[in-house]
Amino acid sequence: MFIRVIKNCLIWVKHRIQLNFAVLLFLLTWAFCLSFNIIKSPELSAYYSNNLSNFPFLTFQSNTYSPEFNLNSDSVVIPLKRAGRLFLIEAKIDDQIGNLVFDTGANGLVLNNTYFRNYTKSAGGISNGITGNVGPVEQIAIGKIEFSGISYKNLKADLVNLGHIENHRGVKILGLIGFSMMRNLEIIIDPQNSELKLIRIDKRGERVNHIASEFKTDFIQKIEGNTNIVFIRGRIAGKSLNFCFDTAAETNAISSDSNKSILNTLTIMRRSILKGAGSARSEVLFGRMNDFKIGEKEISQMETIITNLDALSDVYGTRTDGMLGYNFLQQGTFCINFVKKQFGIRFSKKEEI
Same domain assignment for residues 192 and 249: no
Domain contains 200: yes
CA distances from 149 to 94, 95, 172, 222, 249 (A): 15, 16, 21, 30, 27
Kindly state whether residues 201 and 225 are assigned to the same domain. Answer: no
Residues 85 and 160 in one domain: yes
Residues 200 and 225 in one domain: no
Domain match, 190 and 233 both: no
Measure CA 76 to chain center: 23
Grouped pLDDT means (10 residues each) for the chain, 353 residues: 42 43 43 36 34 44 56 83 95 96 88 94 64 68 91 90 86 93 93 95 88 86 90 96 94 94 95 59 85 95 92 87 96 97 92 52
Classify residue 47: in a domain, yes or no: no
CA distances from residue 240 to 180, 232, 322 in whole angstroms, order as listed: 27, 10, 11
Position 46 in a domain:
no
**Is residue 79 domain-shared with residue 197, that is, in the same domain?**
yes
- Final residue before a domain boundary, out of 205, 238, 268: 205
Q: Residue 49: inside a domain, yes or no?
A: no
Indicate whether 273 and 337 sit together in one domain: yes
Pair (179, 243) in one structural domain: no
Domain membership of residue 110 (yes or no) is yes
Cα 290 to Cα 236: distance, rounded to the nearest angstrom: 9
Q: Which residue type is seen at 239?
A: K
Is there a contact between 251 and 326 (Cβ–Cβ < 8 Å)?
yes
In a domain, 12, yes or no: no
Q: Which of 68, 52, 110, 70 lies closest to 251 in space, CA to CA? A: 52
Could you give the CA distance from residue 320 to residue 231 in angstroms, rounded to a whole number?
9
pLDDT at residue 69 in the model: 60
- Contact criterion met (CB below 8 Å) for 139 and 159: yes
Q: In Å, what is the CA distance from 249 to each residue of 18, 103, 187, 205, 327?
A: 51, 8, 19, 28, 9
Residue 73 lies inside a defined structural domain of this protein: yes
Q: Distance between CA atoms of 32 and 24, rounded to whole angstroms? A: 12
Instruction: Give the pLDDT score at 166.
Output: 87
Tell me, what's the pLDDT at 160?
Answer: 87
| Exposure of 24 in the CB half-sphere (CA atoms within 13 A) | 6
Structure pTM? 0.79
Distances in Å between the Cα of 253 and the Cα atoms of 102, 121, 263, 309, 312 are: 19, 34, 12, 9, 11
Return the pLDDT at 181: 86
Q: Are residues 237 and 293 in the same domain?
A: yes
The verdict on 192 and 247 lying in the same domain is no
The whole-angstrom separation of Cα 191 and Cα 87 is 9
Whether 80 and 121 map to the same domain: the answer is: yes
- Which CATH number does the domain housing residue 191 bear? 2.40.70.10
Q: Is residue 210 part of a domain?
A: no
- Domain match, 201 and 151 both: yes
Our count of domains for the chain comes to 2
| The last residue of a domain, from among 176, 205, 234 | 205
What confidence score (pLDDT) does residue 280 get? 53
Which domain covers residue 129, as residue numbers?
A: 68-205
